[in-house]
Amino acid sequence: MATETFAERRARERTVLTDRQRAILDFIVGYIQVHGWAPSIRDIGAHFDIKSVNGTSDHLRALERKGYIERGFGKSRALRVLRQP
């Protein structure tokens, strides 16, 4: 039985979503399907009762870092889903 190395575990953790990140990604996908455009950061925060824009941005940065979304710089609704888990 092979043991997972530290580097392998770190690589896996970089793509695994937390429950909250998965819920936010699902919300973004659903919102785009219903409305035809991405939700704003404030829309996402309101839906999940996240009090600050920065808190919502933290989740979006994690999704971007893990390769699930792409964000356009300086545009409020410039989210693009790259892949789904």
Q: Are 10 and 73 in contact (CB under 8 A)?
A: no
- The pLDDT-based confidence of 17 (bands split at 50, 70, 90) is very high
User: Domain segments of the chain: what residues?
Assistant: 19-81
Domain boundaries 19-81, CATH class: mainly alpha
Type of residue numbered 41: I
Residue 68 CB neighbour total at 10 angstroms: 22
Residue 1 has pLDDT above 60, yes or no: no
Residue 26 CB neighbour total at 10 angstroms: 13
Per DSSP, helices labelled H in the chain are 6-13, 19-35, 41-47, 53-65
pLDDT of residue 81: 96
- Given the structure tokens 């998965």, which residue do they identify? 22
> pLDDT tens digit string along 22-74?
999 999 999 999 999 999 999 999 999 999 999 999 999 999 999 999 998 87
